[in-house]
Amino acid sequence: MDKIINSKVSVIIPCYNAELYVEKAVLSIMNQTYKNLEIICLDDGSTDGTIKILNELAKNDSRLVVVKNQNNLKLIKTLNLGLQLVTGDFIARMDSDDFSVFDRIEKQLKYLEENDIDVCGTYTYYYYDNRKPCVFKKIHCISSSKSLRISSLFDSPLIHPSVLGKSSVFKQFMYNDCAKSYLIEDYEMWCRMFKNNVKIGVLPEYLLYYRINDMGESITKKEIQNKNKLSLSRDVIFETIEISLSMNSISLISGIKINERISLAIIKLAIKDLNQIFEQSKIRYELTKNEIVDMRKWLKHKLFHLHVQTVRYGVFKAKIFSLIYLSFQFQLILMYIYNYYLQPYFMSFLNQKEIKYLK
């Protein structure tokens, strides 16, 4: 890590009416093991006590820069303002209601250097705000740049507030402020980066707690988000792999519920399309043996979710078809039961220190 040991990292934290969480979020960055930080907190016209909390924190740490928007600019304009203000060699993202593990920045910088990549995210804990207490690990299958590029055909390859990358890269691309990227501004940016051969990776360690807030914009406006996501996914697939998929296939593979019952024909077509994407990608991106192994894990998880959706929302014949498939996926079923049902229960006892901090 010698090359970047003295590099300044600018952490951008947009804030809006976050008085319940913002102090703990900012403290999780202030208390990082890596100290050469510039912490830019942008208050987007909050009407609660957010700005007061930020100003109090700034009194005790000169690295904290508080910026208050006179009007509510919304997220994309606020993020772009942050990109214009930063002075660091690297940029990290955080949201005002999330929390970073104490050595996140240090580990991400080291990972960037050792793997010669431009931008990286991390594995993520999900923390449910409305449950007592509920933390579970998001299941991640892949981390290499080529694998992430293929997965980005259907899903955002990075958890946005876990990201750290070169300032020059972020400033080159910026966030696209238009209707098509509304609520998917990060996904749209990663797709443009991949198109221009930016090297993106994921550090396979759980270094961020991502708070699931039922009042969050990406949940209350889910319909718009899904529409924009599917439209972008369709365009990227056609531009990258030169295959035109039906919106039903893209929706199912992306894990988005379609507007009709899933028929046997629909699920079979989605499976065919997914396998075709996998085979075409192997050739186009000249995947190594290890990358193919990575992608087979991704394919297996995607097929699993396709069939789970069909069992939930399919017609009778389609349900039977998927139940037969799932009956042979005992290991995956156990993993998901543990991760989403048993693990949150166990973590409430095993991680009392983290849970106490998150409250």
Average pLDDT for 169-179: 97
Residue type, 30: M
Q: What is the pLDDT of residue 350?
A: 45
Burial (CB < 10 A; 0-12, 13-18, 19+), residue 33, is exposed
Say whether both 169 and 117 belong to one domain: yes
* 238 in any annotated domain: no
- Which of 29-38, 212-221, 274-283 is predicted least confidently? 212-221
- Residue 226 domain flag: no
Instruction: Please indicate, yes or no, if residue 349 is contained in any of the structural domains.
Output: no
Q: Please compute the mean of the pLDDT values over residues 175-199 and round it to a whole number.
A: 97
Q: Does 228 reside within a domain? A: no
Q: Whole domain around residue 11: which residue ranges? A: 2-218
Cβ neighbours of residue 19 under 8 Å, at least 6 residues apart?
46, 48, 49, 50, 53
What's the number of domains the chain is made of?
2
DSSP assignment letter at 41: E
- Same domain, residue pair 87 and 154: yes
If asked whether residues 158 and 284 sit together in one domain, one would say no
Per cent of the chain over pLDDT 70 is 89
Report the mean per-residue pLDDT for the chain.
91
DSSP state of 94: -
253-295 residue pLDDT tens: 999 999 899 999 999 999 999 999 999 999 999 999 999 998 9
| pLDDT at residue number 335 | 79
Concatenating the DSSP letter of every residue in 269-302 gives HHHHHHHHHHHHHHHHTT--HHHHHHHHHHHHHH
58 pLDDT band, cuts 50/70/90, is very high
Above 60 in pLDDT, residue 221? yes
Residue 146: pLDDT above 90? yes
pLDDT tens for each residue of 81-124 = 999 999 999 999 999 999 999 999 999 999 999 999 999 999 99
Is the pLDDT assigned to residue 192 strictly greater than 60? yes
Q: What is the pLDDT of residue 331?
A: 85
**Neighbour tally for 293: CB within 10 Å:** 12
Contacts of 139 (CB under 8 A, 6+ apart): 301, 335, 336, 339
Residues 160 and 262 in one domain: no
How sure is the predictor about 139, in pLDDT bands with cuts at 50, 70 and 90? confident
Say if CB 312 and CB 150 are below 8 A apart.
no
Same domain, 100 and 155: yes
How far, in Å, CA of 162 to CA of 201, rounded? 12
Q: How confident is the model at residue 355 (pLDDT cuts 50, 70, 90)?
A: very low
Same domain, 129 and 15: yes
